[in-house]
Amino acid sequence: MLSRTADHLYWMARYSERAENLARLLDVNYQMSLVPHDAETERSSWNAIIALNSLEYAYAKRHDEVTATKVLHFMVRDETHPSSIYSCLRAARENAHAVRGTLTAEMWETINETWLQLRDQSFAEIHSGGIAAFFDWVKQRASLLRGAMFGTMLRDEAFQFIRLGALLERADNTARILDVKYHGLPGAQQSQGDDLVDANDFYHWGALLRSVSAFEVYRKVYRDVITPERVAELLILREDLPRALHSCMQGVVEILDKVRNSRSDETVRRAGQLYATLRYGRMDDIFERGLHAWLDDFIDSIGDLSVRISEDFLVGA
């Protein structure tokens, strides 16, 4: 397929996935802020959201203090910077529009309607309708798009590049969420695996799991109390949890093998190498290296793969 077409599809998927993950993250932060706690904890949790996306400068230019409403406005409906849900869904729609003929009618209609509905809502309207309901709506629209894709699309190259974009973005986003949340959370540094976690921690870890729809999964897998180590293990090493890093990278490696061309050998090799650390890695080794350092490396590797994929496939000879 045309490199430019693949490029649009890939970015459509990335922006769409990013909007969904942002909604998940903001939703969790919002839920957590409803649990009683001191003002400093709340402020730092919203600060973390801004830092997670490296938006400290952009935020400071627009707002002089960090409050829940201001951060929500900034991350949801601010159209003056590219990282809000609004801007992501606009970019997803613009990319889709450029290659709408490659999408099935169901997919295009879903993306277009999502955008049309969002475009007409001010932040005040979104806020008064209940911000949680809005996040649910974003997640539902993302699910609808995914469903339309899996249910209607030919398994051709277009499909593969959409999946590739979504999986890379998801791997990046899960790693970032885990990194920021893990270190922003109580008990993460000193916890000893089988320690009982107090009620407040329980809410925090529960919320983190819910942000990747993995709360019930955790229960099912471990049938035990929630400990930070297991949360990290679940989100990093599980092969069968769709938002876990292992699962994402497995998909990336599989797709790169399907779309490989004369230029992509090195990219395939690097992806395979990264995948192997997840496939054959142990949690102990990751903790020994230090979770933060390990996640940092992982996020860098995803960045490297993105650049290489762009050069190999999306720019064109």
Residues that bind other proteins (CB under 8 A): 1-6, 94, 97-102, 105, 108-109, 112-113, 116, 157, 161, 259, 261-262, 313-314, 316-317
Q: How far is the CB of 58 from other proteins (least distance, A)?
A: 23
State the nearest-atom distance from the C-beta of 105 to other proteins, in Å: 7
Instruction: Considering the complex, state which of residue 163 and residue 243 has its C-beta at the smaller distance from other proteins.
Output: 163
In the complex, what is the shortest distance from the CB of residue 253 to other proteins, in angstroms, rounded to a whole number? 17
Tokens of 214: 């993995």
* 238 contacts: CB under 8 Å, gap ≥ 6: 221, 244, 246, 247
Please spell the DSSP secondary structure of 17-61, one letter per residue: HHHHHHHHHHHHHHHHHTS---HHHHHHHHHHHHHHTT-HHHHHH
Please write down the long-range contacts of 132-135, taking CB distance under 8 Å and 24 or more positions apart. Answer: 132/27, 132/30, 132/31, 134/23, 134/76, 135/23, 135/24, 135/26, 135/27, 135/30
Q: How far is the CB of 113 from other proteins (least distance, A)?
A: 5
Nearer to other proteins, 115 or 135 (CB): 115
CA-based angle 195:29:250, to the nearest 5? 75
Longest pairwise C-alpha distance within the chain? 57
In whole angstroms, the minimum distance from the beta carbon of 183 to other proteins comes to 39
- Closer to other proteins by CB, 216 or 265: give it: 265
67 Cβ contact partners less than 8 Å away, ≥ 6 residues apart: 46
Return the number of the residue (199 or 317) whose C-beta is nearest other proteins. 317
Between 114 and 211, name the residue whose CB sits nearer to other proteins: 114
